[in-house]
Amino acid sequence: MTRDDVLRAALARRRPAHPVPAYAAPYAARVAALEALLPELTDEAWSAPVIHGWMAHEVIAHLMASDRLLAAALGASLPGGPPSSDDPEAYTDEVLAAGLGRDEVLARWRAQAAALCELLSAAEPGLADEKIVASGLRLRARDHLTNRAFETWVHCTDICNVTGILLPEPVFDHVYAMADMGCRSLPLSHRAGGGSVTGVAELVLTGPGGGTWLIRLGEDAGGPESTIVMDVIEFCFLFADRRDPEAVGAVVRGDRELARELLSTTPCLVRLRR
């Protein structure tokens, strides 16, 4: 049995995801997937740099810090009091500077994720569309949870890439939720990247969880001048700054300059943060 077979078996027998409302299901599922991955990491994998110079337990400490910022914004009662900063970069640095060992990080991350899911499970249904300020962003609670799911998925994949383990993709409706969040953020990414081309592009994301979105750059209210067709998973990892815009296999029809600039600025919002 290969290591990938072992991971698939672990995923099959893992504890079910925490019960949460439907809008938070992608987050709970990604927590469960990461939980299933961790026991499969070797000592060598735990000591290897993953991304940003962080080892695996430091990546998880970053996830824990970001989850804690959202939990605090939602009014959770947190051991040790609220975070000292709502800036995810500064708070991550503070958590990492504490020098917590692997076991302590994992225990705190598990407890933090469980507490966040329990809070969501007990919350009134109207919370989903309530605007919440967390990590310096004012978004609906559902969008914050989709963002947490997305970051957990991406960093879990970062760990897998270092270890050579293949992680099954999220289920299609969870992929759709994360892709939709990315597509709705593209005008912001375009501005963050200093984009100057304006126009309307049709973005067609193929595969389970895909769909079609109209992306408006600037004030143009006309029809699409460019159509971009690409795989939905490749789009998600391009948005996460884990792919080269020139290497995602996008097929372009129409205004190629508009398409090129849209693809090249897709990761720029994520680049503002770790």
Buried b (16+ CB within 10 A) or exposed e, 75-86: ebeeeeeebebb
Listed in sequence order, the DSSP H helices in the chain are: 3-13, 25-37, 43-47, 56-73, 88-97, 102-122, 141-163, 172-184, 186-192, 232-239, 256-265, 268-271
Tokens, residue 221: 């209210």
Sign of the Cα torsion 109, 110, 112, 117 reads positive
Contact 182, 151 (CB under 8 A): no
The 10s digit of each residue's pLDDT in 151-166 is 999 999 999 999 999 8
Tokens, residue 168: 């099954």
Fold of 178-271: Nonspecific Lipid-transfer Protein; Chain A (3.30.1050)
Contact 136, 88 (CB under 8 A): yes
pLDDT for position 4: 54
Which candidate, 87, 88, 258, places its Cα nearest to that of 186? 258
CATH 3.30.1050.10 residue ranges for the chain: 178-271
Q: Within the chain, which residues score under 70 in pLDDT?
A: 1-16, 221, 274
Residues comprising the chain, all counted: 274
Sign of the Cα torsion 237, 240, 242, 245 reads positive
pLDDT for position 76: 87
- Taking phi over 0 as left and psi of -120 to 50 as alpha, with beta for the rest, 223 belongs to beta
- SS3 string, 167-220, reads CCCCCHHHHHHHHHHHHHCHHHHHHHCCCCCCEEEEEEEECCCCEEEEEEECCC
Instruction: Give CATH for domain 3-168.
Output: 1.20.120.450
**Cα 120 to Cα 221: distance, rounded to the nearest angstrom:** 38
pLDDT for position 5: 59
The 10s digit of each residue's pLDDT in 92-111 is 999 999 999 999 999 999 99
